[in-house]
Amino acid sequence: MVAFLPYARLGESDGFWQQYNRTLFLRFLTAALYSSVLYIEPLGRRCSRSTSYFISRFRAAPTRRLWLWISFVFNTWFFLGGVPEDLPTLEHRREYPRALKVFSQFILIPLVVIYLAILTAYLVRIFITGQWPSGWIGYLVSSVAAVGILSLLLVHPIREAPENRWVGTYTRWFYVAMLPAIGMLLVAIWKRVSQYGVTEDRYFIAILALWLAAIAVLFIVRRGTDIRWIPITLCILAFVTTGGPFGAYGVSSGARFIDCATCCSPTA
């Protein structure tokens, strides 16, 4: 919701990701780095005598209380301090951090391509041998999809630049390459559910697989689809699947109750 709510009525798609969400992403990483440094206990043996009193008081503080203050007070305060305020002006900014460009183009995208090739080769092996994975395939496919979509969002502002033609090719063919892996994930989760029933983890993996399939088909059929649909649909799924009778815990509890009633019945 934080990712798209300020742009729910504004029509600037470039400012939505290029400046606003990119700023939030970098601010989140910076806040996590600063919080980690503050939480690390200084080494007393390497410090001078002038800091011995501070170190002793620092060590005397409860570790859990220190973690709570840093995580929920400092980290949140520091993160919110960098949220952009003048949203309409973000549409006219075109600067793009070189470090982020190098990270997304030469680290994230090659990793996604390599893992997609591995998943495709593994799918071919499954068709040949007929042996399906034991359960880890869901986490692998979902991780590759998450990193791939993140890389697409990171390179979204520069995808049409003449010097980045291969980035445009990647954005056009990523969802096509993901379809076999998503199909394998749907079949794998169906086999697990049909054999062992519905659990919270399987419920979320199945919902994620269906969402990935819908997003992939949408962006393949309509290449100019607004990227805001990605966080919007994820937010809707988060609210729908969290509680209620159709949520993860309601569906899994109902499935366990039915299995228990079936096993305990006189005719079972």
Provide mean pLDDT across the span 239-246: 82
3-state secondary structure 22-80: HHHHHHHHHHHHHHHHHHCCCCHHHCCHHHHHHHHHHHHCCHHHHHHHHHHHHHHHHHH
Q: Is the pLDDT of residue 171 over 90?
A: no
Q: Is the pLDDT of residue 210 over 90?
A: yes
Are 106 and 220 members of one domain?
Answer: yes
Q: Is the pLDDT of residue 56 over 70?
A: no
| Residue 55 belongs to domain spanning | 8-92
Please report whether residue 240 resides in a domain.
no
Of the candidates 207, 198, 215, 193, the residue with the CA atom closest to the CA atom of residue 238: 207
Please report whether residue 266 resides in a domain.
no
Are 125 and 202 members of one domain?
Answer: yes
pLDDT of residue 259: 52
Are 100 and 84 members of one domain?
Answer: no
Of 209, 224, 239, the position where a domain reaches its end is: 224
Residues 174, 148 contacting (CB under 8 angstroms): yes
Q: Tens digits of per-residue pLDDT, 143-160?
A: 888 888 888 887 777 777
Are 43 and 66 members of one domain?
Answer: yes
Q: Tens digits of per-residue pLDDT, 4-17?
A: 888 776 555 666 76
Are 199 and 104 members of one domain?
Answer: yes
Is pLDDT larger for residue 161 or for residue 254? 161
Please report whether residue 233 resides in a domain.
no
Of 63, 92, 121, the position where a domain reaches its end is: 92
Are 136 and 220 members of one domain?
Answer: yes
Residues 71, 35 contacting (CB under 8 angstroms): yes
Are 45 and 129 members of one domain?
Answer: no
Backbone φ and ψ for 2, nearest 5 degrees, come out as -60, -30
List the structure tokens of 67. Answer: 């973690």
Are 57 and 121 members of one domain?
Answer: no
Alpha-carbon distances of 42 from 39, 45, 134, 235, rounded to whole Å: 9, 9, 44, 40
Q: Tens digits of per-residue pLDDT, 19-40?
A: 788 888 889 999 999 998 888 7
Number of domains observed in the structure of the chain: 2
Q: Is the pLDDT of residue 214 over 90?
A: yes
Of 187, 208, 224, the position where a domain reaches its end is: 224
Q: Is the pLDDT of residue 257 over 90?
A: no
Please report whether residue 251 resides in a domain.
no
Please report whether residue 138 resides in a domain.
yes
Are 147 and 216 members of one domain?
Answer: yes
Number of CB atoms found within 10 A of residue 133's CB: 15
Are 64 and 119 members of one domain?
Answer: no
Q: Is the pLDDT of residue 252 over 80?
A: no
Q: Tens digits of per-residue pLDDT, 179-200?
A: 998 998 888 888 888 888 888 8
Binning pLDDT at 50, 70 and 90, where does residue 91 land? low
Are 47 and 140 members of one domain?
Answer: no
Q: Give the 3-state secondary structure of residue 250.
A: helix
Percentage of the chain lying above the pLDDT 70 cut: 77
Please report whether residue 177 resides in a domain.
yes
pLDDT of residue 191: 85
Are 108 and 211 members of one domain?
Answer: yes
